[in-house]
Chains A and B, each alone.
Chain A
């Protein structure tokens, strides 16, 4: 766990939601921010709790999930460094629609509702940036909805893993490691299927040399093979 990082304006340079604010705007934004430390397993906020703050993750990784009325947990997405979460506090929602839980030790910058409202008033660019970010998430959500309705479960699992690679992949000897603890249950929740189906599919893929599955660890050994499954591409003729 790092020390509480310093509030250096450079910190916000790479954060999309504070893009094009200029040094003064970023300094103002940091002035109103507070650090939130989250140990692995700790919640930043809980579903249905009052949406009293907006956050940007600095270090670590969070899982955003919802509980169904029957008590089943559904993973909505993962949040990586420089991504915003708790956006509902900016766009007027009263309660958080989902729970955000740290899956690694994490640090986030938070703004209480009042502070972020003041900042948006003075710098409407923040609202535009947030809108763009949420538009991107909506696009992704729509893609997942389409997959759920139309695709075989193998393709859904392939897509989910490809998305995890895009967000948190790290090149290692022999493949691309998804660089945070991800379980079969997590993948089941992301793809609307059962743990049993995910286990069966990953075991089959491991035999084919497409993935390597460890405890809470997933390495894509044959990225091309995974994409072929996810995109349902026909095998190619050599030299074509």
Chain B
């Protein structure tokens, strides 16, 4: 799956690190959710689905919030 370019490209199978790089505004979502993805060495390898599962978060909710954050300026 190529790195997300538009907010709509943020899907469950997108890579966490690529999502944060493409849309820095999404960092706030991870931090608010107390997910440890920002700055994590593993973020370049994990999908949003995997990160959500690791943190006990529903992936659909996460994707929705990340898209909203990506739409607003960082």
Chain A residues within 8 Å of B, Cβ to Cβ: 162-163, 165-166, 169, 171, 176, 220, 223-224, 226-227, 231, 233, 236-240
**A238/B45 contact (C-beta < 8 A), A227-B36, A227-B40, A231-B36 known:** no
**What is the CA–CA distance of A176 and B45 in the complex, to the nearest angstrom?**
7
Chain A residue nearest in CB terms to B46: A223
Interface residues on chain B, number (Cβ under 8 Å): 15
In the bound complex, residues from chain B placing their C-beta under 8 Å from that of A233 are 36
Chain B residues within 8 Å of A, Cβ to Cβ: 34, 36, 40-42, 44-46, 50-51, 54-58
Asked if A240 contacts B34 (CB within 8 A), the reply is yes
Neighbour of B45 across the interface among A223, A236, A237, A240, CB < 8 A: A223
Chain A residue nearest in CB terms to B55: A236
Asked if B56 contacts A163 (CB within 8 A), the reply is no
Least distance between A78 CB and chain B CB atoms (Å)? 14
Least distance between B36 CB and chain A CB atoms (Å)? 6
In the bound complex, residues from chain B placing their C-beta under 8 Å from that of A165 are 41-42, 45
Asked if A176 contacts B36 (CB within 8 A), the reply is no
Asked if B54 contacts A169 (CB within 8 A), the reply is no
- Please, could you name 29 A-B residue pairs with CB atoms under 8 Å apart, sorted by A? A162-B41, A163-B41, A165-B41, A165-B42, A165-B45, A166-B41, A169-B44, A176-B42, A176-B45, A223-B42, A223-B46, A223-B50, A223-B54, A224-B46, A224-B50, A224-B54, A224-B55, A226-B42, A227-B40, A227-B41, A227-B42, A233-B36, A236-B34, A236-B55, A237-B56, A239-B57, A239-B58, A240-B34, A240-B56
**What is the CA–CA distance of A169 and B41 in the complex, to the nearest angstrom?**
10
**What is the CA–CA distance of A223 and B51 in the complex, to the nearest angstrom?**
10
Neighbour of A169 across the interface among B34, B40, B45, CB < 8 A: B45
**What is the CA–CA distance of A171 and B13 in the complex, to the nearest angstrom?**
14
In the bound complex, residues from chain A placing their C-beta under 8 Å from that of B57 are 239
Chain B residue nearest in CB terms to A161: B41
In the bound complex, residues from chain A placing their C-beta under 8 Å from that of B58 are 239
Chain B residue nearest in CB terms to A162: B41
Chain B residue nearest in CB terms to A226: B42
**What is the CA–CA distance of A239 and B57 in the complex, to the nearest angstrom?**
5
**What is the CA–CA distance of A227 and B36 in the complex, to the nearest angstrom?**
9
- The 3 A-B pairs with the shortest beta carbon distances in the complex, nearest first, are A238-B56, A224-B54, A223-B42
